[in-house]
A and B are shown apart, each in its own frame.
Chain A
Amino acid sequence: MSAQTSTQGGGSTLLSRDEARALADRVLSFSTADETRVNVSSEWSGNTRFAAASITTSGGVTDTSVTVTVTIGKRQASASTNVLDDGSLKRTIDLAARLARLSPEDPELLPELGPQTYATVNAYIQRTADLDPEIRNGAVSRAIEAATAAGKSAGEMFSAGFLVANARAVAVATSNGLFAYHRTTDADFSVTARTPDGTGSGWASAGSRNWGTMDPAAIGRIAAQKAVASRNPQTIEPGLYTAVLEPLAVTDLVPLLGGALSARTADEGRSPFSKPGGGTRIGEKVVDERVTMYSDPADPALLGQPFDAEGLPLSRMVWIEKGVLKNLAYSRFWAQRQGVRPTGPALAGGLTLGGGTTSTEELIVGCARGILVTHFFYIRSLDARTVLQTGLTRDGTFLIEQGKITRALKNFRWNESPLLMLNRLEDIGRPEPTTAGRMMPALRVRDFNFSSLSDAV
């Protein structure tokens, strides 16, 4: 395709720092409320979806929206719009003010923040923002070719997948002089390959802020290899087995601990980190001593947003260090009440689960008998107090015997808690990038509760 017909990448459509500030200032100038906060979000997204060797949908979106939060006395409310002429912005402010006046007083309301200092995080990668339809579809083509070649022994491989690139600029401004601006990009590409006999299915995925680090052909090839290897799955009795969870499976499960990291929920007695009789379990050993879990927007491996929606700076937060609960997430209100520093929401600055140095392969080699899990599906909470979840294995579940993958297995439903699981750790791998803002290792876990069989391929 010629250069003239190619659409522009996302970067050119995003608001710059100056444009975002001008828009925020314009909104602030229209507001007569006691305090006003403006959140600006300017986004571009381009995607390609395919199945059975045809692109099924593709899309491009550009949008800019503004959320206005006004405070009148002890009352606060928000309104948002993506219609940015003066009249519409004024109407949105008026609506927020009207909603605020009609809302009851909020005893937990705190003043908007003034100017803050933020970590510099370069999370915007031009190459990701430049992912136009031609580049995307070329990558899709390479992934399909790789899947077809890798799956040849099983016949004509069916593959389906999705490639998306996002570029986003966000800004926060308050009537107390705060201004924060951050640009970010991310791309995700996943492929599912299925064998023509319908008995094998494999999946592979990669995600990053930087498209340049992703290898479409490798994603297609791994998906097809897993599909071929997972044909004709055998049945073994459901029950407690040692599980080797690949990093993508761990990415599905461990971040679910984020909800349990709320200090308020813990103080209120509703969390696994509540101390019987009151207070929290900060300082106690809550998981295996090899586990360390932290968020850090400035970490080059995470590249998170250095502030939250209120403009509060986010910094490195070590949630668990060597198995000991070190911190919980404090909102500004709860922090003030408990006399501690606010942290912003848990996991807003990304998440790394660290502690190990080994590879997934080494975890398999070290396993006498167990089940290798590619990834999970349809995870739902069963019990907030124990973070107990249910879900299914999918797209590549294998039996490990004497350190080797010996058979494909039927999928399982499981009932397991990421928290309890981290207390039954046999080994922990080295953290790997799995998707933007996540560094997750493979894990080998004792007595993982595979509770029933699933016929799904």
Chain B
Amino acid sequence: MSPTRRDFIKTTAATAASVAACGPLALQASPQTLAAPTADPAAIEVASEALNAARKAGASYADARIGRYRRQVINTRERQVAGVTDTESYGLGVRTLIDGCWGFAATSAMTRDGAQKAAREAAIMSQAARIVRKRRVELAPVKPVTGTWTTPVQRDPLEVPIEEKIALLLAANEAALKVAGIRFVNSGLALLREVKTLLTTEGTNVTQTMYRVGPAFAATAVGSSGDFQVYEHELAPRGQGWEYIESLNMPGNAGRWATLAVEKLSARSVEPGQYDLILDPTNLWLTIHESIGHSTELDRAIGEEANYAGTSFVAPPEKMIGQLRFGPAFMNIQADRTQDGSLSRVGWDDEGVPADQWLVIDKGLFKDYQTTREQVARIQKLTGVTKSHGCSFAESWKAVQFQRMPNISLLPGDRDISLDDIISATDRAIVIKNRGSWSIDHQRFNFQFSGQAFYEVRGGKIVGMLRDVAYQSNTPVFWSSMDMIGGKSSYWMGGSFNDGKGEPSQSSSVSHGCVPARFRNVTILNTARSV
């Protein structure tokens, strides 16, 4: 075990225990992972200065969050690089609580003077907010913690030479271009390293280094009549290092992926109607994200997102917790910020709350929401949970932290059955792989999703490829129609590198593990039109 892991366990024993307890879903961390760097003393000084100024301005609570973000994005098309950008952003965000009102100010002036000014500005915002204050903010308690944590990675993706990255992408493109009928290929990498230090007036002082990598690949086949079909492979973004990108073997697999774009050209356009649906984990993760992940956010349920992302059908909490039947008894949905390799994995959230793991849906019944410290009091009498689940996150030092989705995953069924087993047990259905277009309403009822590869099942066998397929349903109806799920060997973790919420809109990254599943009698649309 690396010093990093030891340090983490020492400072957050309870969290480490929950990591170990997460059983089949926790991948084994490599023993050769990089150590977590300690905090930059200059950053600690600036953050401390901000907290002092916040106290002087009357804050009953304040936190200072310093972030240094390094993002690299590489895009290629066919045999050339379409763009390489490398961005560094460094700054301080200060949040103050005065008379139950929040204020927040952020600055890139990383001096004692800059920190003081930002803290005073935040305090002015807290004070100015008193004229519109029906409810005072109250924070659930959290034990102050000091420590460091890092995403377990073997190779820092930002330190891998650009030459190696580009060579990998262009080799994938070349392999795809060798496939007859392929005319356009796009591939890319988005790489992030986030070093974040959080100090609070309650005594928390933690520094974390998070890594996230997002690979992408798409091939376009053009038919003889000018018709074209795109196939995007589902290369899940992960909270991992460069070793994950290498493990995907993009150059070795790109030819096979590109072949699917060509095959789509001659696929039969789907006949709309009611079908049974078998969703591969490469497709199902996004349906979980949209219909369960977002509907179980407490800020949506209490109306705080009403003006933008929307509210939720899982409301009001007093009529939902322990009462709303989401799906069959074998449906268990876990929330966590602990799964190895997942995008939302952290040591602590942006309020210093240790990473947590809990059930959102237990045996088909809705059990608990996603929470931050200020949300706990809203539902603790209903859930009996008196601590935050640690869902506070801000996309950068410039942005204020608020409730964001942790990993939300469909746990495997008791029997270890595979996608093929589900297909064999099905008379007539459509199998859908990878994410296509997706859209869902503002209370998370009506959704319409597509995919990248669609297969027709007859008599327990795949009999051909389809195209122009989208499935449309209503969240409670859809999950209630689930009658078969895969076992632990078929568990796969997809994710979203950029999930938007909040005003101003912030992006977060979140993973969703799941198994293949079958749904009965779902509406299938044909999305083809002509000009």
Contact = CB atoms under 8 A, between A and B. Distances in A.
B486 interface: no
Interface string A115-142: 0000000000000000001101110110
B125 A133 contact: yes
Interface in B431-483: 437-446, 448, 450, 470, 472, 474
Interface string B95-116: 0000001111111111000000
Prevailing SS type, chain B contact patch: mixed
Interface stretch (B146-154, B160-168, B193-201, B277-285): B160-168
Given A54-B135, A137-B131, A392-B442, A63 B303 contact: no
B132 A55 contact: yes
A58 B441 contact: no
A457 B129 contact: no
Contacts of B450: 382
Interface residues of A, number: 97
Size category of the B interface is 35 or more
Interface in B198-227: 220, 222, 226
A58 B129 contact: yes
A151 to B, nearest CB: 14
A47 B398 CA distance: 12
Contacts of B528: 383
A7 B439 contact: no
Most A CB within 10 A of own CB, among B102, B438, B445, B448? B448
A52 B440 CA distance: 24
Given A5-B124, A160-B306, A386-B531, A452 B523 contact: yes
Interface stretch (A296-304, A322-330, A410-418, A438-446): A410-418
B424 interface: no
A32 interface: no
Contacts of B109: 62
A137 B81 contact: no
Contacts of A411: 441, 446
Contacts of A52: 134-135, 302-304
A456 B129 contact: no
Interface in A40-76: 45, 47-65, 67
A352 interface: no
B313 interface: yes
Contacts of A98: 162
B443 A451 contact: no
Contact of B132 (A54, A106, A162, A191): A54
B504 interface: yes
A134 B129 CA distance: 8
B327 to A, nearest CB: 17
B102 A82 contact: no
Interface string B214-254: 00000010100010100000000000000000000000000
A107 B80 contact: yes
B443 A7 contact: no
Interface stretch (B20-28, B36-44, B83-91, B256-264): B83-91
Nearest to A60: B105
A380 B303 contact: no
B438 A63 contact: no
A394 B439 CA distance: 13
Contacts of B162: 98-99, 102-103
Contacts of B529: 383, 386, 388, 417, 420
14 contacts: A55-B132, A55-B133, A58-B128, A60-B106, A82-B91, A104-B80, A192-B307, A270-B184, A379-B439, A385-B531, A413-B439, A413-B472, A415-B525, A453-B446
Given A47-B504, A98-B162, A382-B450, 7 more contacts: A52-B303, A54-B134, A82-B88, A82-B108, A138-B131, A455-B446, A456-B446
Give 3 nearest A-B pairs by CB, closest first.
A454-B446, A456-B443, A133-B128
Interface of B: 80-81, 83-91, 101-110, 121-122, 124-125, 127-129, 131-135, 161-163, 166, 170, 184, 220, 222, 226, 228, 302-308, 310-311, 313, 398-400, 402, 437-446, 448, 450, 470, 472, 474, 503-504, 523, 525, 527-531
Interface of A: 1, 5-7, 45, 47-65, 67, 77-83, 92, 95-96, 98-100, 102-104, 106-108, 133-134, 136-138, 140-141, 144, 158, 160-162, 164, 190-192, 194, 201, 203, 268-270, 272, 274, 276-277, 377-383, 385-386, 388, 390-392, 394, 411, 413, 415, 417, 419-420, 451-457
